[in-house]
């Protein structure tokens, strides 16, 4: 376990700026839709936001020490929610649920939000971290294996000069005891972290954030495998595969033994159930808030 503490990441000559957002990343007004326009996809409310708007919102919440949760929607998470009403409730309880997968973006387009764009978790993580470094907003990390977390902090020392890491913890791969959970809450609160990146994997991280919303004075982002990707522990798909919605294929080829059941089970089922929704054979979702 990496213990919590104040760890200002020192500037590095090799650190580069991450301020430039991905090509085509426009403001909500430029894209022609209002912030927080959303549609239900299989009963889960997915927002049509973008990088600039999401980052601005997260920093605003962090400066006010608000307890908020930000999740990322994928085919995997939506099908987990389809199978589990409790998990669906966790996703819908998020303050912001962003489309982190091209099938979800295309789904929003088909449901009447043509300006929706992908908000890729690892990219948003970097953009938020750089902004936090400039504004000296303390951040924390909870999740992943100890060696991955250490490598991540080393990478961020080069890429985000001045970043203040107030908390970093790699929890055991089992449910914590009540005493351990109370200690985690106490340490995060004492650390002063205002943005907490949670990398426990789906659906564990989303459930964890739901359980701790209101208990932690920080914005929690469930960033999944971002710790692995940003640390270099796992390779990321080429951008052209991401744009074509083929990231799942790249991940399947790189981790076939771990992921083949997920994609074999979820991808065809998502196509089937979403087609039923488009054709009007699924029960209408509750009105959007």
Residue 26 vs residue 199, higher pLDDT? 199
The pLDDT value recorded for residue 287 is: 46
Q: What is the DSSP letter of 41?
A: E
pLDDT reading at 11 higher than 80: no
Q: Alpha-carbon distance 61 to 235, whole Å?
A: 32
Q: Alpha-carbon distance 197 to 106, whole Å?
A: 27
The pLDDT value recorded for residue 212 is: 97
How much is the mean pLDDT over the chain? 87
Q: What domains are defined for the chain?
A: 36-231 (3.40.50)
Query: What mean pLDDT do residues 176-186 have?
Result: 95
pLDDT reading at 152 higher than 80: yes
pLDDT reading at 263 higher than 80: yes
The pLDDT value recorded for residue 6 is: 41
pLDDT reading at 1 higher than 90: no
- Per-residue model confidence as pLDDT tens digits over 86-119: 999 999 999 999 999 999 999 999 999 999 999 9
Phi and psi for 163 in degrees, rounded to 5?
-65, 135
pLDDT band at 277 (very low <50, low <70, confident <90, very high): very high
Q: Alpha-carbon distance 251 to 267, whole Å?
A: 14
**Which pairs count as long-range contacts for 273-282, CB under 8 Å and 24+ apart, including other chains?**
273/42, 273/82, 274/41, 274/42, 274/107, 277/41, 277/42, 278/110, 278/111, 282/42
Say what percent of the chain tops pLDDT 70: 85
């Amino acid at each position: 376990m990496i213990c919590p503490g104040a760890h200002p990441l020192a500037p590095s000559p090799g650190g580069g700026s991450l301020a430039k957002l991905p090509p085509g990343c426009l403001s909500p007004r430029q894209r022609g839709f209002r912030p927080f326009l959303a549609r239900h996809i299989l009963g889960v409310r997915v927002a049509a936001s973008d990088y600039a708007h999401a980052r601005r919102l997260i920093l605003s919440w962090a400066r006010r020490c608000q307890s908020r949760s930000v999740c990322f929607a994928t085919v995997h998470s939506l099908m987990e929610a389809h199978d589990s009403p409790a998990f669906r409730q966790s996703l819908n309880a998020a303050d912001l649920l962003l489309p982190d997968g091209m099938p979800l973006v295309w789904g929003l387009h088909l449901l009447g939000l043509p300006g929706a764009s992908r908000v890729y978790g690892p990219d948003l993580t970097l953009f938020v971290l750089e902004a936090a470094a400039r504004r000296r907003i303390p951040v924390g990390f909870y999740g992943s294996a100890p060696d991955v977390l250490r490598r991540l902090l080393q990478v961020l020392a080069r890429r985000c000069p001045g970043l203040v890491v107030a908390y970093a913890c790699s929890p055991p791969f089992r449910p914590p005891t009540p005493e351990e959970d109370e200690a985690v809450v106490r340490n995060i609160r004492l650390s002063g972290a205002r943005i907490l990146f949670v990398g426990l994997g789906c659906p564990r991280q989303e459930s964890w954030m739901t359980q701790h919303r209101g208990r932690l004075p920080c914005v929690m982002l469930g960033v999944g495998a971002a710790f692995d990707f940003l640390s270099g522990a796992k390779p990321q798909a080429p951008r052209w595969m991401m744009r074509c919605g083929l990231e799942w294929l790249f991940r399947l080829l790189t981790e076939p033994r771990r992921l083949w059941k997920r994609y074999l089970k979820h991808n065809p089922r998502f196509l089937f159930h979403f087609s039923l929704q488009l054709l009007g054979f699924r029960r209408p979702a509750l009105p959007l808030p």
